[in-house]
Amino acid sequence: MTKTNAQKGVWAEQIAKAHFSTKKNCIVFEPIGGIGLCDLMVLNTATGEITKYDVKYGGQRFLFNRGNKNGNGGLRLIHRVPSEKQKKLNINLIYVMADGTIRKPKSETRVRGKGNNAK
């Protein structure tokens, strides 16, 4: 049975909560009712730093590569972009992959054709 997008999202949030709950000096908070711009907040009790996360299921898409004679571009992560409100509130995106691993985006300021960290 295939899972719906909502089921994948709920699963990804639970995996992310478990991931941060097992880290030393971290307490995980979630919004009441599950509605809001972020899915969870992590408080580091040692430093007092609060980090906000929007959890995304790490869906992948097959990319056809025309430059490759075999036509196989492989599977690529579907890139998600934070909303303007999320950027203003400093909410980070994290991906939970199908195997349960957590992946953080490399750079949020990437500009196509300019390389990483271009302004």
76 φ, ψ (degrees, to nearest 5):
-125, 145
Task: Report if residue 27 sits inside a domain.
Answer: yes
Task: Report if residue 15 sits inside a domain.
Answer: yes
Question: Which of 48-62, 65-79, 93-107 is predicted with the least confidence, judged by mean pLDDT?
Answer: 65-79
Task: Report if residue 46 sits inside a domain.
Answer: yes
Structural domain span for residue 26? 5-103
Is residue 3 over pLDDT 90?
no
Kindly give the residue spans of alpha helices, DSSP state H, lying in the chain.
5-21, 84-88
Q: Cβ distance 20 to 26 under 8 Å?
A: yes
Q: Model confidence at 72, in pLDDT bands (50, 70, 90)?
A: low
Task: Report if residue 112 sits inside a domain.
Answer: no
Task: Report if residue 49 sits inside a domain.
Answer: yes
| Percentage, residues of the chain above pLDDT 90 | 27
| Percentage, residues of the chain above pLDDT 70 | 73
User: Model confidence over 22-55: pLDDT tens digits?
Assistant: 999 999 998 887 778 888 999 999 999 999 998 9
Predicted local confidence at residue 20, as pLDDT: 92
Task: Report if residue 115 sits inside a domain.
Answer: no
The total domain count for the chain is 1
Q: What does the DSSP assignment read for 99-112?
A: TS-EE--S-SS-BT
User: Model confidence over 48-57: pLDDT tens digits?
Assistant: 999 999 898 8
| CATH number of domain containing 87 | 3.40.1350.10
Give the angle subtended at the CA of 68 by the CAs of 66 and 73, to the nearest 5°. Answer: 80
Predicted local confidence at residue 1, as pLDDT: 63
